[in-house]
Structure 1
Amino acid sequence: MAWVVGTGALLGLLAIALGIVTLRTGWILPTARRHVIRPQLHGLGALLTGASALLQSLFYFRALPSVSWEVRFFGGNAFLFAGLLLIALSQMLPPRRSPVHADPSGV
């Protein structure tokens, strides 16, 4: 079981690193580059998703002070779903410089 949690911790660290790179430079992985419209939302979503995985593994290995299972469960899920929501929004929101946003009056 520990190797599964350790793998989750490594993936969490990777997601955090990718989120930081995206926020600092705007670089996105080539596989997601064509889908992402707003890189800042994508980077923040990656940070939250990675933080969720990393915190859950740190609680498992008792590297952090123990809290109740409810706090771990609901807190981890809140981070995870908020991150996934931001990643989805970074792909679905219209671009900021679309003609609709440039001239909202339609004249």
Structure 2
Amino acid sequence: MGWVVGTGAVMGLLVITLGVAALRTGWVLPVSRRHVTRPRLYGAGALVLGASLLLPGLSALRLLPGVSEETRLLGGTGLLLAGLLLLLVSQLSPLHRDRRSTL
């Protein structure tokens, strides 16, 4: 079980690092650059997604105050969905796009 908690924590920290880089500098991974049109929104989504990956590891190590298991499950799922929604919205085309270029 320890490796599962450790893997989630490492992945969460990695995604949080990518989110901070996107928020501070607008840098996005080269794989995602073609798709991301709003890097700041992408960074916020990465922060929320990384937090949802990191929180179960913190609660397994008993570093968070005691809350019920249902609250942790629903909170983590809500953070995960909110992060994914922000990442999705960051890849949508901007609203102020020139309409003549699409014809």
**1:68 aligns to what?**
68
Task: State the one-letter code of the partner of 1:59.
Answer: S
Please, what TM-score do these two structures have when normalized by structure 2?
A: 0.91
- Aligned residue runs from structure 1 range 19-34, under 5 A: 19-34=19-34
2:3 match: 3
Counterparts of 2:43 and 2:95, CA distance in 1: 17
Counterparts of 2:40 and 2:95 in 1: how far apart (Å)?
A: 13
Q: Which runs of 5+ in 1 are unaligned?
A: 101-107
SS in structure 1 of the partner of residue 36 of structure 2? coil
TM-score (normalizing by structure 1): 0.88
Provide the C-alpha distance between the structure 1 equivalents of 2:67 and 2:18, rounded to a whole number of angstroms: 28
1:41 offset after TM fit, Å? Answer: 1.0
CA distance in 2, matches of 1:96, 1:54: 33
Q: Distance in 1 between matches of 2:95 and 2:40?
A: 13
> Please, which runs of 5 or more residues in structure 2 have no aligned partner?
none
Counting aligned pairs with the same residue, the percent is: 57
After the TM superposition, which segments of 4 or more aligned residues of structure 1 sit over 6 Å from their partners? Answer: none
Aligned residues: 99
**RMSD, matched Cα:** 1.1
- Greater Rg, structure 1 or structure 2? 1
Other-structure match for 1:38: 38
